[in-house]
Chain A
């Protein structure tokens, strides 16, 4: 059974700092990995999706990497801002297709101090 772990559960950094959020998964046979952001009382917003054949994806100040063989992904946030404060979740999909269910980590709650 796939397990996704995100440690630490919470992180507080000063504004402007570059930071890395970690995600690990036990079964390396994944199809893709997705990073989401969740603001308090809100749903999930997709940030980046990395296919298993890819090593990284970038969007603005965000960069997500994937090392499938070691079961790890990182989300790099450059020059953090207070508006980045949210919970960040990673999720893995085992196979192609909409019927393939995502397995989520519990998320990392990030607080960026002004």
Chain B
């Protein structure tokens, strides 16, 4: 597509429920990132996918968070047993792979999914 698409744009859930957030990256962008932006905080790295390689999960804050990427394209971030501190905007970004000559280091971000846990 023309840009990075994220859904839902807004999600309100009750504490303890599971949520799934979806990211559809730009076609041809094999690198995909999830970031979290909490109120008054900077962007916090969560997870990184590159093609079929094992993802870099070093930023996931707890084992309640997981993500997968099917077919090297769409990614889903899952938060189990949500807590109030999970409330944030979850941003997805994509870029060309390392070996690309066309701007491997320029990330394109989606509009984000705003999660509110009551």
What is the interface of chain A, defined by CB distance below 8 A to chain B? 4, 31-32, 34, 36, 41-46, 49, 89, 91, 93, 96-102, 104-107
11 new A-B contacts at CB < 8 Å, known A31-B105, A102-B43: A42-B111, A43-B91, A46-B107, A49-B106, A89-B42, A91-B43, A96-B104, A98-B31, A98-B50, A101-B48, A104-B42
If A4-B42, A32-B105, A49-B105 touch, does A43 touch B110 (CB 8 Å cutoff)? yes
Q: Determine the interface band of chain B, counting residues with CB < 8 A from chain A.
A: 20 to 34
Q: Which residues of B contact A43 (CB under 8 A)?
A: 4, 6, 91, 109-112
In the complex the two chains form, what is the Cα distance from A84 to B79 in whole Å? 35
Cβ-closest 3 pairs across A and B: A98-B31, A43-B109, A104-B43
In the complex the two chains form, what is the Cα distance from A99 to B95 in whole Å? 10
Whether B20 is near chain A, meaning CB under 8 Å from some CB there, is: no
Q: Which residues of A contact B107 (CB under 8 A)?
A: 34, 44, 46, 102
In the complex, the chain A residue whose C-beta lies closest to that of B103 is A49
